[in-house]
Amino acid sequence: MKTTLSAMALALTATAVMAEETVTIDFAYPYSHLFDVTYEAMMPAFKEAHPNIEVNFRATYESYEDGTNTILREAVSGDLPDVTMQGLNRQQILVEKGIAKSLEPFIAKEADFAKDGYHDAMLSLSTFGDNVHGLPFSVSLPVGYYNMDILKAGGIDKMPTTWDEVIGACETMKANGIDNPIFWGWNITGNWFMQALMWSQDKAIVENGRVTLDSPEALAAMEQMQEIFTKCEMQNLEWKAALASFSAGEIGMMFWSTSALGAVERSQGDFELLTGPFPGMGATPKGLPAGGNAAMLTSTSDDPKVQEAAWAWLKFITSGEGAAEVAKTTGYMPPNKAANEVILADFYDQNPNKQTAVDQLPLLRDWLAYPGDNGLAITQVIYDGIERIVTGDATDMKELQQELVEEVADLLPNG
């Protein structure tokens, strides 16, 4: 009995020590409909490797813009999470304001960092100056989603490769009784599709600190959008409603990020789904913007245990093991070399719809942020302008272009 009581006492003491050593970190990320399943899949392995770290999941961000706005507010109120996921195009402002911490001190302690899949090409996406401030978590590219049952019923037997072919397919489907042939993702985060059309022409939307909305390429992009919206008679759907409608088998073609592929497949109706490369403006796109997000350390804790726990979580979710779950549960491509070359060696052969974005990787270009503190406001100005094209409120693209140029100039630090 004495021995049993001693053993119980030791067990209780050990339990108390374990409880005392438990470290809790706060984590925030966007797009619950995409990533909830990803983090659920990761947690068992993380808990096994780090039993004393508790991850408190905060309310998810609605979008990348919402994520950045939230972090900027929390920096003022002193309520920052320890780790945050931010859009690749929204990292710089957090670095400039000193909110996102350099990861160099943590990387320096890692003996096999490069062998773990963290190669220079990956780190460059989150390197500012000479310091790594984030570890990319997922990368996406725009693709076409096709309900082949609707296309065939509408008289289309192959996927289009240019926007003229897309418009022709719309007109053929409409003539054959298809009410809703297309959704084109103009309202995706960060003016991503506007940048996709400009990069298709090998033109950046920001050059040398100025926004190139006054360029011939910007006008061509706006005119291309107008043709798609009007000739396809596209419904102005909120993006979540559009994804749900396509998944239910109600839209023939959807142009969106590959990131949504996992969510679409999980809720897919009874139809044949194929993905295809993002169409070009008369030819294959010359470039496409890299979407996606990165994990950034924003902890304000002075406790080394919290800092180390935050780094452990940040490193795990971007590691080969963690990043592999990104590919398995979404349509994103993991930037981690170990995930792609080792863990996912046969994955894309078995999942050809997810291979589409991988095939477009040679077209990868930067997803650009607008300069200065008004970057989010500039995003909204361009968003509002495109919506006017969708609704038909703007019909003269040269006139709209000039309006946007003037509005954006007022928001730029150099005028």
pLDDT at residue 10, rounded to an integer: 44
pLDDT at residue 305, rounded to an integer: 96
Reduce the DSSP state of residue 40 to 3 states and report it.
Answer: helix
Reduce the DSSP state of residue 207 to 3 states and report it.
Answer: strand
Q: What tokens were used for 11?
A: 């067990």
10-residue averages of pLDDT along the chain (415 residues): 43 47 96 95 96 97 96 97 96 95 94 74 84 93 97 96 98 96 96 98 95 98 98 95 96 96 94 97 95 96 97 94 91 85 86 93 91 94 98 97 97 84
DSSP 333: B
Q: 21-140+291-364: what CATH class?
A: alpha beta
Encoded amino acid at 206, one letter: V
Reduce the DSSP state of residue 283 to 3 states and report it.
Answer: coil
- Taking the alpha carbons at both ends of the chain, their separation in whole angstroms is 83
Instruction: Please write the tens of the pLDDT for every residue from 277-293.
Output: 999 999 999 999 999 99
At a CB cut-off of 8 Å and minimum separation 6, what does 1 contact? none
In CATH, the architecture of 142-289+370-411 is 3-Layer(aba) Sandwich (3.40)
| Relative orientation angle of helices 375-391 and 64-77, to the nearest 10 degrees | 150
At a CB cut-off of 8 Å and minimum separation 6, what does 137 contact? 85, 292, 293, 294, 295, 317, 318, 323, 326, 334, 335
pLDDT at residue 115, rounded to an integer: 61
pLDDT at residue 2, rounded to an integer: 38
Q: What tokens were used for 53?
A: 């770290």
Q: What tokens were used for 355?
A: 């291979």
pLDDT at residue 12, rounded to an integer: 45
pLDDT at residue 312, rounded to an integer: 97
Question: CA-CA distances (angstroms) from residue 51 to 9, 141, 285, 336?
Answer: 22, 36, 47, 24
| CB-based contact 262:329 (threshold 8 Å) | yes
Rounded Cα distance, 266 and 268, in Å: 6
At a CB cut-off of 8 Å and minimum separation 6, what does 152 contact? none
DSSP 117: T
Rounded Cα distance, 36 and 10, in Å: 39
| CB-based contact 171:364 (threshold 8 Å) | no
CATH 3.40.190.10 residue window(s) in the chain: 21-140+291-364, 142-289+370-411
pLDDT at residue 368, rounded to an integer: 93
| CB-based contact 237:188 (threshold 8 Å) | no
